[in-house]
Amino acid sequence: MKKALSVFLGIIMILSLCVTGFAAGDNGSYEITNPYENVDWETVNTYKTALHTHTNASDGSPTLRESLERHAETGFDIVAITDHGTVNYSWERENISTLIHGALSLVGRSKGALDYLGKEGEFSKGVKYTIETRNGDDYLVLENGREIMRVPYGIENNAVSVNAHVNSWFADYHDNTITTYADAVKGVDRAGGVCVINHPGEYSKARYEIRSANAYNTDEFQYRYHVNKWASLLEKYDSCIGIDINSKGDSRTRFDRILWDVLLERFADNGENVFAICSSDAHQLDKIDTGFVYALMSEKTSACLRQSLESGAFFGASHCLGNPDELVQIYTALEELYGESDLSREIKEAADAMDAKAAAIENGEADADDDIGITYDVLDDEGYFAGGSEPMIKSIAVDEDEDTVSIETENALLVRWISNGKLITTTRADEAVIDLNDYANELGNYVRAEVFGEGGIVYTQAFLLDSAANAGSSSVVDSGFVDLGVFDFLIGVFGNWSDIIGRALGIK
């Protein structure tokens, strides 16, 4: 009887565990908030968009005419000219801030004559154009019928600051006194605009970290402070939609995907999202096509663009990727899923070179600088991108009954699925489906995807998990946080120099 009872109780325990395990991962157990829910993939248009670029009206090298000609040549549909402290009102006529342009000219940062488009004209390679205004929006119309829409009121705010840069659009706002992140975001919000925090690794000095593990490690005061600072602005002002995670050649932003995940973890635990853009921040012609946004819109108007940005119906994209850990994961997945190739060897060589450079910095044999990075397309002598088709996302499907997210891609090889800053799994691009139940023990309250191809990388916005249940359940800002204002850039500077001194003394 004792043996029989033991067997019976054992069976009951096993069945109980099986039932419990099944219930935890049962289909339909996740509420998935899809930022692309309202996108009609059958009819939507995808517009290649430049949200951050410069001319010689501030500290860029190209004139407005040269910049727009290059944007047209590289396939852009929408362009925001965002010169420092200079609201963009027009492409037809001179558009400068006398203060900013004058000051930058004195120190040699704004060079050459300004060159605007007029109502019609001809670019340097003989392409004719006109400027048309329809329903309040300006369009550069080329003779072949292509059109580029001007984003109204583009500006990079906080010109008189230490890299506390905030891009904004859709609102006639600027303040060219000594201002902070909070000043700019609050000003844009009151003026009715939309803004984003630019290249945060520049301000936090995360760009000078050697290893990913050290970047935005909130156990360190400097990073915990900056995470709280940006989280407080994102929480307080809906007009601030998120951060820039990959700009220019990705040297200074190579760790800013880590920051995005740190912020996403805090916000998703509270049922909220944080969006991410990519940009070129182009000050030279050969940087114009490095980073951009794919905006999903029914038509090419500024109203639709604003709606796209505010709802998260867009993707960040870049030709450049400079994080060595990401590169190792990518070439490893390429070899596992497709076998060794010229592309996987190229990426491995780049990752190995970056690792060697990092080791040399750690050993005191080299200085930390911008030389860690890779560009997937090669620039020719005139600054065009040559070869390599840009990966695209054609559609996204979320099935809450099955707890799956599926992505249809083009010109892609891999889809990388990430939650709470960790790579959960990598799938082939032609088999890009994740069943969340398969990764229940690894998921936080969001999952996002990165689509990789030979021509670059595309980032989806995050899919929140159980956002309604989590809404208001936690704070995104640590209690006791105080924004130190205009001088808090010194926190990052101090942290950076502490690392340099520590390495020199052999204690870092």
Tens digit of pLDDT at every position of the chain (508 positions): 444 444 443 443 334 433 333 333 456 789 999 999 999 999 999 999 999 999 999 999 999 999 999 999 999 999 999 999 999 999 999 999 999 999 999 988 899 999 999 999 999 999 999 999 999 999 999 999 999 999 999 999 999 988 899 999 999 999 999 999 999 999 999 999 999 999 999 999 999 898 999 999 999 999 999 999 999 999 999 999 999 999 998 989 999 999 999 999 999 999 999 999 999 999 999 999 999 999 999 999 999 999 999 999 999 999 999 999 999 999 999 999 999 999 999 889 888 988 988 888 888 888 776 666 656 654 444 333 434 789 999 999 999 999 999 999 999 999 999 999 999 999 999 999 999 999 999 999 999 999 999 999 999 999 999 999 999 999 999 999 999 988 888 888 777 767 767 766 676 6
pTM of the model: 0.91
Query: Would residue 144 count as lying in a domain?
Result: yes
Q: Are strands 78-79 and 45-50 parallel, antiparallel or unpaired?
A: parallel
How far lies 147's CA from each of 90, 143, 154, 421, 430, in Å?
16, 9, 18, 39, 32
Query: Would residue 361 count as lying in a domain?
Result: no
Q: Which amino acid is at 274?
A: V
- Measured in degrees and rounded to the nearest 5, phi and psi for residue 133 equal -115, 125
CA distance 126 to 8: 87
In the chain, how many domains are there? 1
Query: Would residue 478 count as lying in a domain?
Result: yes
CATH of the domain at 488: 3.20.20.140
pLDDT of the residue at 101: 94
pLDDT of the residue at 4: 47
* Among candidate residues 411, 409, 455, the one with its CA nearest the CA of residue 432: 409
Query: Would residue 145 count as lying in a domain?
Result: yes
Query: Would residue 20 count as lying in a domain?
Result: no
CA distance 151 to 142: 17
Sort 427 into a burial class: Cβ within 10 Å, 0-12 / 13-18 / 19+: middle
Cβ atoms of 297 and 328 within 8 Å: the answer is no
Sort 330 into a burial class: Cβ within 10 Å, 0-12 / 13-18 / 19+: buried
Give, in degrees to the nearest 5, the angle at Cα 455 between 451 and 459: 25
CA distance 225 to 498: 16
How far lies 14's CA from each of 350, 382, 437, in Å?
50, 69, 21
Q: Count Cβ neighbours within 10 Å for each residue of 283-308 and write b for 16 or more, e otherwise.
A: bebbbbbbbbbbbbbeebbbebbbbb
Query: Would residue 397 count as lying in a domain?
Result: no
* Among candidate residues 145, 2, 115, the one with its CA nearest the CA of residue 55: 115
CA distance 276 to 256: 10
pLDDT of the residue at 1: 43
pLDDT of the residue at 376: 60
Query: Would residue 441 count as lying in a domain?
Result: no
pLDDT of the residue at 370: 61
Q: Residue 201, by phi and psi: left (phi above 0), alpha (psi -120 to 50) or beta?
A: alpha
Q: What tokens were used for 363? A: 């050993």
What is the helix (H) or strand (E) element at residue 11, kind and residue range? helix 2-24
Query: Would residue 364 count as lying in a domain?
Result: no
Domain span at residue 79 reads 45-320+474-504
pLDDT of the residue at 25: 45
Q: Which residues contact 500 (CB under 8 A, 6 or more apart)?
A: 368
Cβ atoms of 451 and 294 within 8 Å: the answer is no
